[in-house]
C-alpha cells in the first residue's frame, strides 16, 4: 500500500498496528492513532507549529531526571493524572478519597516513633497532626504505615533545598498504635507554585493559568489486606482550593488547620507558643475491592 493522503492515511496506520500480538498493545495503539489523527485534523497545524510541538515534548523529556519529573507535571497540569486516579479509584462509601501522588514523594522516608517532631532544622508555626486509620466503614487498623510529606512555610519541599538543609525534613513514616491512631509534630505548610521554570511553566503562562497549589499535607497509607491510599489533606480557607493547578482538591479532603493557644496540647506536650492542629480520620478499602476494580493492593 502506498500513495496515502489525508483521506486514507488513518486507516492505513490503524491496519498496520493491528498486527500487534498483545491485545492490550493493539487496543492502546489503535486508540492512540485514532485520537492523535483526530487531534491533528482538528488543529490543522502548520509545519512550524508541528515542529514547535515536537520541540515542546523534547524539552519536557530533557527536563526529566531523578529529581525533576516534567512529564508528570505535564500530566498533572492537564488533568490527566487526576483522570487516571479517578478511573482507578471508584471509591466505595467510607473510604477516603484519593488524589495525585505528585513529584515530591521519596521512597523509604525515615521511620519515626509516634509523637516525633519531623520539622528537623526548618522554622515555622508548629503543627500537630493527629488521626486514625480504619478499614472503610469498619475497625481501626493497628500497625498501618503512615507515610507523610509536606512543604515548609515558604512552599518548598526538603528535596528542593537539600543542598542548604543537608537532610530530609517534613517527611517521615509512622506506624499506627493498637487503636489505629497516629500523631506527630511538624510545621505548618504553605501554598506553593509547582516548579514552573520549565516547559510546563511556559505552557501554563501561555494558557493564562497560575501555577499554585493550596497548602496541604500528603499521606500514603498502607496496611496488610488493604489497598494503599494516596491522598492529601488541604487547608480549609486556602485561596487556591478552587483553582489548584493540578485539579486535585476534593471537598472530603479539606480540613481546618485549627489555631490553638499555648498550653498542654491534646497529646500531652507542653506548648510555650500557639500552634496549629490538623486531624483526619482515614478509611482504607479492602483488597477484595482492589481485585474487582483492578487496583494495586498493599
Q: How many residues bind Fe ion (CB under 5 A)?
A: 1
Among 74, 85, 102, 223, binds ligand BEZ (CB under 6 A): 102
CA 33 to chain CA centroid, nearest Å: 29
Q: Reduce the secondary structure of 29-50 to three states and give it as a string.
A: HHHHHHHHHHHHHHHCCCHHHH
When binding is defined by CB under 6 A, the residue of 70, 76, 152, 158 that contacts ligand BEZ is 76
Binding mask 235-254 for ligand BEZ (x = CB under 6 A): -----------x--------
Q: Choose one: 65-73, 96-104, 136-144, 172-180; the region binding Fe ion (CB under 5 A).
A: 96-104
Judged by beta carbon, residue 103 or residue 140, the one nearer ligand BEZ is 103
Binding part of the chain for Fe ion, among 61-69, 94-102, 107-115, 237-245 by CB under 5 A, reads 94-102
Which positions from 118 through 147 interact with Fe ion, judged by CB under 5 A? none
Nearer to ligand BEZ, 32 or 84 (CB): 84
Closest approach of Cβ 246 to ligand BEZ, in Å?
Answer: 4
Residue of 73, 145, 253, 278 that binds ligand BEZ (CB under 6 A): 73
Give one DSSP letter per residue of the chain, joined into a string.
Answer: -----TTTHHHHHHHHHTT-SSHHHHHHHHHHHHHHHHHHHHH---HHHHHHHHHHHHHHHHTBSSS-BHHHHHHHHTTHHHHHHHHH--PPTTSPPP----TT--TTPPB--TT-B--TT--S-EEEEEEEEEETTS-B-TT-EEEEEE--TTS--GGGSHHHH-S--SEEEEE--TTSEEEEEEE----EEPP-SSHHHHHHHHTT---EE--EEEEEEE-TTBBPEEEEEEETT-TTTTS-TT----GGGEE--EEE-SEE-TTS-EESS-EEEEEEEEEE-BHHHHHHHTPPB-
Residue nearest Fe ion, Cβ-based: 102
Q: Residue 100 or 241: which CB sits closer to ligand BEZ? A: 100
**Footprint on residues 182-201 left by Fe ion (CB under 5 A):** none
CB closer to Fe ion, 102 vs 211: 102
**Based on CB atoms, which residue is closest to ligand BEZ, 76 or 152?**
76
Cell numbers at 81, concatenated: 493524572
> Which among ligand BEZ, Fe ion, none contacts residue 211 (Cβ within 5 to 8 A by kind)?
none
Q: Which is nearer to ligand BEZ, 100 or 148 (CB)?
A: 100
100 near ligand BEZ, rule: CB under 6 A: yes
**Cβ count within 10 A of residue 131:** 20
Report if residue 191 touches ligand BEZ, rule: CB under 6 A: no
Q: Candidates 171, 196, 213, 226: give the one binding ligand BEZ (CB under 6 A).
A: 213
Nearest to Fe ion of 218, 226 (CB atom) = 218
R_g over Cα of the chain? 23
- Which residues of the shown chain bind ligand BEZ in the complex (CB under 6 A)? 73, 76, 100, 102-104, 194, 213, 246
Amino acid at each position: 500500500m502506498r500513495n496515502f493522503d489525508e483521506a486514507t492515511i488513518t486507516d492505513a496506520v490503524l491496519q498496520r498496528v493491528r498486527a500487534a500480538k498483545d491485545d492490550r498493545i493493539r487496543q492502546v495503539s489503535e486508540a492512540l492513532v485514532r485520537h492523535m489523527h483526530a487531534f491533528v485534523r482538528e488543529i490543522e497545524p502548520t509545519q512550524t507549529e508541528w515542529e514547535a510541538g515536537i520541540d515542546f515534548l523534547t524539552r519536557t523529556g530533557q527536563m526529566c531526571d531523578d529529581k525533576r519529573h516534567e512529564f508528570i507535571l505535564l500530566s498533572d497540569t492537564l488533568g490527566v493524572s487526576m483522570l487516571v486516579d479517578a478511573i482507578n479509584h471508584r471509591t466505595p462509601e467510607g473510604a477516603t478519597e484519593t488524589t495525585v501522588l505528585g513529584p515530591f514523594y521519596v521512597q523509604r522516608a525515615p521511620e519515626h516513633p509516634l509523637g516525633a517532631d519531623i520539622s528537623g532544622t526548618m522554622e515555622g508555626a508548629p503543627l500537630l497532626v493527629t488521626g486514625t486509620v480504619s478499614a472503610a466503614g469498619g475497625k481501626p487498623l493497628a500497625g498501618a504505615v503512615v507515610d507523610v510529606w509536606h512543604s515548609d512555610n515558604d512552599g518548598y519541599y526538603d528535596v528542593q533545598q537539600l543542598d542548604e538543609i543537608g537532610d530530609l525534613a517534613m517527611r517521615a513514616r509512622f506506624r499506627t498504635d493498637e487503636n489505629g491512631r497516629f500523631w506527630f509534630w511538624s510545621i505548618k505548610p504553605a501554598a506553593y507554585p509547582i516548579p514552573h521554570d520549565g516547559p510546563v511553566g511556559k505552557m501554563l503562562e501561555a494558557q493564562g493559568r497560575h501555577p499554585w497549589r493550596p497548602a496541604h499535607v500528603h499521606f500514603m497509607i498502607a496496611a496488610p489486606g488493604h489497598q494503599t491510599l494516596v491522598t492529601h489533606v488541604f487547608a480549609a480557607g486556602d485561596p487556591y482550593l478552587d483553582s489548584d493547578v493540578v485539579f486535585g482538591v476534593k471537598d472530603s479532603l479539606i480540613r481546618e488547620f485549627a489555631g490553638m493557644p499555648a498550653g498542654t496540647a491534646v497529646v500531652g506536650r507542653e506548648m510555650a507558643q500557639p500552634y496549629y492542629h490538623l486531624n483526619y480520620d482515614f478509611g482504607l478499602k479492602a483488597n477484595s475491592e482492589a481485585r474487582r476494580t483492578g487496583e494495586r493492593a498493599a
